[in-house]
Amino acid sequence: MKTLNRRDWLKRGTLTAASVVAAPYLSFGANADQPIKLDAQGNVPYTPFFKEYLPYEVDKPVELLAKLNANENPYGPSTKAIEAIAKNGVKGNRYAWRELFDLMDKIAVSEGEGITKENIMMGPGSSDLLEKTAMVFFQKGGNIVSADPAYMSLIKVAEASGATWKPIPLKKDWSHDLAAMEAAIDEDTKLVYICNPNNPTGSMTDHAELLDFCSRVSEKVPIFVDEAYLGFLEDADKKSMVSLVKEGKNVIIARTFSKIHGMAGLRVGYIVAPTETLGVISKITRGGMGISFPSIYAAMASMDDVEFQDKSRTLNKACREYVYESLDKMGFEYIPSSTSFIIFPIEMEGKAFLEKMTEQKVGVRAFDIMGKNWCRVSMGTMEEMKLFTAALEKVLV
Ligand code: PLP
């Protein structure tokens, strides 16, 4: 297995001067009148070391045989969730206030650790809550510390609200550099954002180290831990930061029904946090109002459908193994993934690569990380993964 260690790769690396120098930070933030800054090629420069090649224009219809560009779960929603939607659509004339509490109670029980619904805030997908948290925490500016590369949703809204981003490169094993992140905290730091497992790298940070970090550092500054992909881990590895909430630590944990539950289009997510922290966030925003009546019932039904979640996890793993094997055969290196996607370096400029893959009717994502082009592919069905490997071979091998 040709797995990728960042230090080895950097030694051989192709860190181009252009990528290190000019990339301006995404700065629609401090100045809300300014549109999102793109570079000369129309790509989104997040940091000098992390850039995303924008996929095909989203408003253009593109016919894909394998849509592997958004980390969606191809098996969902569960049949039980679909039945719940059909049954409860008729109640769509009502606000689902009480039903939302039922879902929150159910989630609280499933989280364990003495969590109650007072520790939970719901949202139409976790993006909504990532963004609301950013809007609330950065109303008066300040800075946010996170990994580089990281999942950008919360960070972009923080910047839009006037925050400065302090990106800290991941370590050579692609885990968070917790010591460097702690050192980066200053009196203006309003939030630390950690995505574990991380997107777009798929890599994990050790649970015990992260628990210690969150426990200590949350005494100084709140920590937001995004656990969107936790559901894909085997039970023994499925270790959350939720226990810290019960200890009263100032941590916010985000979860979503979009990934293991396969409900990305149904929009259900939540955060778990101390009641005081949720009080601050919900003072100026409302979470659960954005979730539809049928989606609430779909989420409850899906939680009960453990078989579906197990199936998603098993099939996702089988696809990962297949992609690893195929990449090995074609001579690609990759970062071992704990998620439903795999990222690996490619020898083609990202935009051209996206165009060529789209011509093959396969949708993926492309990034520039540390001056190297990368492809991120989501796990679809096995059939879709075979279309992906065939397309990759055509385009790059
Ligand atoms: N957090 C991470 C790390 C993600 O990768 C995603 C989606 O891809 C989200 C949050 C947002 O998911 P949703 O808004 O669908 O809950």
- The CA 48 to ligand 1 mean position distance, Å, reads 24
Residue 333 falls inside a structural domain: yes
- The CA 296 to ligand 1 mean position distance, Å, reads 18
* Same domain? 251 vs 208: yes
pLDDT at position 2 is: 55
What 3 state SS string does the chain have? Answer: CCECCHHHHHHHCCCCHHHHHCCCCCCCCCCCCCCCCCCCCCCEEEECCEEEECCCCCCCCCCCCEECCCCCCCCCCCHHHHHHHHHHHHHCCCCCHHHHHHHHHHHHHHHCCCCCHHHEEEECCHHHHHHHHHHHHCCCCCEEEEEECCCCHHHHHHHHCCCEEEEEECCCCCCCCHHHHHHHCCCCEEEEEEECCCCCCCCCCCHHHHHHHHHHHCCCCCEEEECCCHHHCCHHHCCCCCHHHHCCCCEEEEEECCCCCCCCCCCCEEEECCHHHHHHHHHHCCCHHHCCHHHHHHHHHHHHCHHHHHHHHHHHHHHHHHHHHHHHHHCCCECCCCCCEEEEEECCCHHHHHHHHHHCCEECEEEEECCEEEEEEECCCHHHHHHHHHHHHHHHC
Which atom of ligand 1 sits closest to the CA of residue 127? 14
Which residues contact ligand 1 via a Cβ below 6 A? 71, 125-127, 151, 195, 199, 226, 228, 256, 258, 264, 269
- The CA 127 to ligand 1 mean position distance, Å, reads 6
pLDDT at position 12 is: 43
* Same domain? 147 vs 35: no
The rounded distance, in Å, linking the Cα atoms of 36 and 39 is: 10
Residue 133 falls inside a structural domain: yes
> Could you tell me the pTM of the whole model?
0.91
pLDDT at position 40 is: 76
pLDDT at position 182 is: 98
pLDDT in tens, the chain (397 residues): 456 655 454 444 433 333 333 333 333 334 444 445 677 777 888 887 888 987 666 567 788 999 999 999 999 999 999 999 999 999 999 999 899 999 999 999 999 989 999 999 999 999 999 999 999 999 999 999 999 999 999 999 999 999 999 999 999 999 999 999 999 999 999 999 999 999 999 999 999 999 999 999 999 999 999 999 999 999 989 999 999 999 999 999 999 999 999 999 999 999 999 999 999 999 888 878 899 999 999 999 999 999 999 999 999 999 999 999 999 999 999 999 999 999 999 999 999 999 999 999 999 999 999 999 999 999 999 999 999 999 999 999 8
Which atom of ligand 1 sits closest to the CA of residue 256? 16
* Same domain? 71 vs 86: no
- The CA 188 to ligand 1 mean position distance, Å, reads 27
Residue 394, C-beta contacts closer than 8 angstroms, at least 6 positions apart: 360
* Same domain? 160 vs 230: yes
- The CA 392 to ligand 1 mean position distance, Å, reads 26
* Same domain? 67 vs 173: no
* Same domain? 155 vs 248: yes
Domain end, chosen from 304, 336, 366, is at 304
Query: Residue 350 sits in a domain of what CATH number?
Result: 3.90.1150.10
Query: Residue 283 sits in a domain of what CATH number?
Result: 3.40.640.10
CA dihedral 247, 253, 256, 259 (to 10 degrees): -100
The rounded distance, in Å, linking the Cα atoms of 169 and 171 is: 6
Residue 345 falls inside a structural domain: yes
- The CA 18 to ligand 1 mean position distance, Å, reads 31
Nearest to 365 by CA among 62, 65, 42, 69: 69
Which atom of ligand 1 sits closest to the CA of residue 268? 16
Among protein residues, the one whose CA lies closest to atom 11 of ligand 1:
127
Please give the backbone phi and psi of residue 396, each rounded to the nearest 5 degrees, phi first. Answer: -120, -20
* Same domain? 242 vs 278: yes
* Same domain? 85 vs 57: no
Residue 253 falls inside a structural domain: yes
Nearest to 1 by CA among 377, 369, 393, 335: 335
- The CA 200 to ligand 1 mean position distance, Å, reads 11
Domain end, chosen from 304, 333, 354, is at 304
Residue 97 — left, alpha, or beta (φ > 0 → left; ψ -120 to 50 → alpha)? alpha
Domain end, chosen from 275, 304, 333, is at 304
What token pair was written down for 244?
A: 């810290």
Which atom of ligand 1 sits closest to the CA of residue 258? 15
* Same domain? 315 vs 356: yes
Q: Name the residue range of residue 341's domain.
A: 11-75+308-396
The rounded distance, in Å, linking the Cα atoms of 136 and 140 is: 9
pLDDT at position 31 is: 40
pLDDT at position 14 is: 39
Please give the backbone phi and psi of residue 252, each rounded to the nearest 5 degrees, phi first. Answer: -125, 125
Among protein residues, the one whose CA lies closest to atom 2 of ligand 1:
228
pLDDT at position 58 is: 59
pLDDT at position 203 is: 98
* Same domain? 280 vs 314: no
* Same domain? 182 vs 253: yes
Which atom of ligand 1 sits closest to the CA of residue 130? 10
pLDDT at position 32 is: 47
The number of domains in the chain is 2
CA angle 171, 176, 181 (to 5 degrees): 100
